[in-house]
């Protein structure tokens, strides 16, 4: 296996991109990444997208994107694993380079979410259609049931839960690509629309258009292209039951633990070595449970630790310096790649005002459904 | 809109609560081929009695188009007395009576209508035993 580096990145603005269709967004991010890496030809392309068919009525993405970035002829495939499609695409791209099959690989993620009316229905396709969705469950509803079980078991308060989006919005203020780069306060969270009790609108990541792309190459060739590159040091992925009711412990997301242990083992590091982490805070409760599963806090103590400032600058580990899914935005299939891009910026000291001091090891955690899949990457600055 | 077969094939589970009991004790309402706990392909067909306990729940206020007509409504994860885990809407119960640990019985109800020319869907919902 060869070591693999990230040598260039490209992002669109995250938000409501009314003038761009799905190929426009992907082409913008991909061409930026190729320019950033000073690469004109790629050897392979992977694109992560959760549901381009239902969101943009477009399947067969990989060939479309290859054509529209001037790389027709290149081998390409679309990768789908619900909300972890982007992270899975990065993992496949990593394997492609590590095995020696290809040298210059473009990995991207894209989702065009604002073109449809009933986005709640599309998101729910990540759950068990016949035995969850048929019976009326929505995606926020699943995480609401995790929150309910967690609050009952550990005594987490509604006010403490609100500290997750408050912290993430504060981080997003310094992120020019973020969808909502402004602060919110406790009153805003507690007065926002009830979506699925106890989760309110401000507990939920938004509907977002966006694309994110990176260029991978063998570590030994990275210097040919740039002096700003990072190494992918650990990769871990896992599956869990797609239906929430099949999770033994409804206050946990064991799939995250499994993926993280694999990534830690491969990288030869532990949670205590990680300087910052981009986690999949699709809902406020998710960030708390995930932080525990990754090993940053004990089970049942993550909510209080985050509320006490342990997950921001100066705390134990900076969680979601980008603003996270909540404030940066969550274009589902692009999110896993965008997390990697934030880690790239942090580890090459290009994160501006949101720079984590002395960042050397960063982690990304991208999750599908209510714990049906998870991909964790550990990245190292060079 | 789906063909009617999509619904008729699930009738044994949704209307009659026909389930499978695997050697590890795992009970599945959805049809399975392998015990997720032990890997065994052996199982016994059982019929759920339709009683169980709420493990967690939520009141849904914002939903997809097909369920908008009943908002707000409650959904729960229930463990039946045989050990099967299912997700079901709560019906015929006031929200104050829905609690983690509450006892429920499953009842046969209309779930939704698939638009003016679509199929009327039926299945189980849960009613809290007060």
* A135 interfacial to chain B (CB closer than 8 Å): yes
Dihedral sign, CA of A85, A247, A239, A5?
positive
pLDDT digits (tens, 9 = 90+) for A182-199: 999 999 999 999 999 999
pLDDT digits (tens, 9 = 90+) for A328-372: 999 999 999 999 999 999 999 999 999 999 999 999 999 999 999
What whole-number distance in Å separates Cα of residue A26 and Cα of residue A88?
A: 17
Task: Work out the burial of residue A77: count CB atoms within 10 Å of its CB; fewer than 13 is exposed, 13-18 middle, 19 or more buried.
Answer: middle
Average pLDDT over residues A203-218: 98
Q: Residue B11's pLDDT band (boundaries 50, 70, 90)?
A: very high
pLDDT at position B54: 98
Average pLDDT over residues B19-28: 97
Contacts of B59 in chain A (CB under 8 A): 194, 196-197
Residue that has been written with the tokens 């992977």 in this structure = A46
Nearest CA-CA distance, residue A295 and chain B, Å: 25
Q: Look up A330 and say whether it is catalytic.
A: yes
Residues 6 or more apart whose CB falls under 8 angstroms from that of A112 comprise A17, A21, A22, A25, A52, A55, A56, A209, A331
pLDDT at position B105: 98
pLDDT at position A28: 98
What whole-number distance in Å separates Cα of residue A168 and Cα of residue A188?
A: 14
Residue length, chain B?
130
Dihedral sign, CA of A185, A186, A190, A195?
positive
Nearest CA-CA distance, residue A260 and chain B, Å: 22
Nearest to A148 among B56, B85, B123 (CB): B56
Q: What is the set of domains in chain A, with CATH numbers? A: 4-118+207-224 (3.40.47.10), 128-205+231-381 (3.40.47.10)
Average pLDDT over residues A73-99: 98
Average pLDDT over residues B29-40: 97
Q: Look up A83 and say whether it is catalytic.
A: yes
Best of B64, B66, B119 to disrupt the A interface (most A CBs within 10 Å) is B64
Chain B, residues 33-52, CB within 8 A of chain A, namely 36
pLDDT digits (tens, 9 = 90+) for A310-330: 999 999 999 999 999 999 999
What is this structure's pTM? Answer: 0.98
pLDDT at position A273: 98
What whole-number distance in Å separates Cα of residue A255 and Cα of residue A246?
A: 12
pLDDT digits (tens, 9 = 90+) for B53-75: 999 999 999 999 889 999 999 99
What whole-number distance in Å separates Cα of residue A197 and Cα of residue B100?
A: 14
What whole-number distance in Å separates Cα of residue B34 and Cα of residue B42?
A: 8
Three-class SS string for A136-160? CCCHHHHHHHHHHHHHHHHCCCHHH
Average pLDDT of chain A? 97
Q: Residue B4's pLDDT band (boundaries 50, 70, 90)?
A: confident
Yes or no, beta carbons of A141 and B58 under 8 Å apart? yes
Average pLDDT over residues B12-37: 97
* A285 interfacial to chain B (CB closer than 8 Å): no
* B67 interfacial to chain A (CB closer than 8 Å): yes
Task: Count the domains in chain B.
Answer: 1
Ranked by mean pLDDT, which of A114-123, B24-33, B110-119 comes out on top?
B24-33
What whole-number distance in Å separates Cα of residue B16 and Cα of residue B48?
A: 8
pLDDT at position A119: 87
Average pLDDT over residues A9-13: 98
Domain that holds residue B67: 3-128
- What interface predicted TM-score (ipTM) does this complex get? 0.97
Report percent pLDDT > 90 for chain B: 87
Of A257, A280, A330, A377, the active-site residue reads A330
What whole-number distance in Å separates Cα of residue A329 and Cα of residue A15?
A: 7
pLDDT digits (tens, 9 = 90+) for A26-71: 999 999 999 999 999 999 999 999 999 999 999 999 999 999 999 9
* B7 interfacial to chain A (CB closer than 8 Å): no
Assess whether pLDDT exceeds 60 at residue B1: no
Best of B60, B65, B101, B107 to disrupt the A interface (most A CBs within 10 Å) is B60
Report percent pLDDT > 70 for chain A: 100
pLDDT digits (tens, 9 = 90+) for A118-162: 888 899 999 999 999 999 999 999 999 999 999 999 999 999 999
pLDDT at position B114: 82
């Amino acid at each position: 296996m060869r070591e693999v580096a990230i040598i260039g990145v490209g992002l669109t603005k995250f938000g409501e991109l009314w003038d761009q269709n799905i190929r426009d967004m992907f082409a913008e991010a991909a061409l930026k990444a190729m320019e950033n890496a000073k690469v004109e030809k790629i050897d392979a392309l992977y694109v992560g997208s959760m549901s381009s068919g239902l969101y943009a009525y477009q399947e067969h993405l990989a060939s479309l994107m290859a054509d529209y970035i001037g790389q027709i002829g290149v081998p390409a495939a679309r990768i789908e694993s619900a909300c972890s499609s982007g992270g899975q695409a990065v993992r496949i791209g990593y394997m492609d380079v590590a095995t020696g099959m290809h040298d210059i690989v473009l990995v991207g993620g894209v989702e065009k979410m604002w073109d449809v009316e009933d986005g709640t229905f599309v998101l729910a396709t990540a759950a068990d259609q016949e035995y969850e969705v048929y019976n009326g469950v929505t995606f926020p509803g699943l995480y609401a049931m995790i929150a309910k079980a967690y609050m009952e078991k550990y005594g987490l308060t509604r006010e403490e839960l609100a500290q997750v989006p408050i912290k993430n919005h504060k981080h997003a203020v310094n992120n020019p690509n973020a969808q909502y780069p402004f602060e919110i306060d406790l009153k805003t969270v507690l007065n926002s629309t009830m979506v699925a009790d106890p989760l309110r609108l401000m507990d939920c990541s938004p509907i977002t258009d966006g694309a994110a792309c990176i260029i991978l190459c063998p570590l030994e060739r990275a210097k040919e292209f740039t002096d700003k590159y990072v190494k992918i040091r650990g990769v871990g992925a896992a599956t869990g039951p797609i239906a929430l009711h099949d999770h033994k412990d409804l206050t946990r997301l064991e799939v995250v633990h499994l993926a993280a242990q694999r990534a830690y083992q491969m990288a030869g590091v532990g949670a205590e070595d990680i300087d910052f982490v981009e986690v999949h805070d699709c809902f406020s409760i998710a960030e708390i449970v995930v932080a525990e599963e990754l090993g940053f806090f004990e089970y049942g103590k993550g909510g209080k630790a985050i509320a006490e400032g342990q997950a921001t600058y100066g705390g134990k580990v900076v969680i979601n310096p980008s603003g996270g899914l909540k404030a940066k935005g969550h274009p589902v299939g692009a999110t896993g790649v965008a997390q990697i891009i934030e880690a790239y910026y942090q580890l090459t000291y290009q994160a501006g005002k949101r720079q984590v001091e002395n960042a050397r090891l960063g982690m990304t955690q991208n999750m599908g459904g209510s714990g049906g899949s998870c991909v964790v990457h550990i990245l190292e600055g060079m | 809109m789906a063909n009617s077969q999509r619904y008729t094939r699930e009738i044994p589970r949704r209307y009659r609560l026909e389930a499978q009991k695997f050697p590890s004790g795992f009970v599945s309402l959805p049809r399975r081929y392998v015990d997720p706990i032990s890997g065994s392909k052996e199982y016994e067909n059982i019929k759920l009695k339709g009683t169980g306990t709420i493990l967690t729940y939520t009141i849904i206020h914002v939903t997809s188009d097909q369920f908008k007509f009943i908002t707000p409504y409650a959904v729960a994860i229930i463990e039946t007395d045989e050990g099967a885990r299912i997700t079901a809407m709560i019906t015929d119960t006031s929200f104050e009576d829905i609690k983690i640990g509450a006892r429920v019985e499953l009842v046969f109800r209309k779930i939704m209508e698939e638009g003016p020319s679509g199929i009327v869907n039926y299945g189980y919902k849960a009613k809290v035993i007060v």
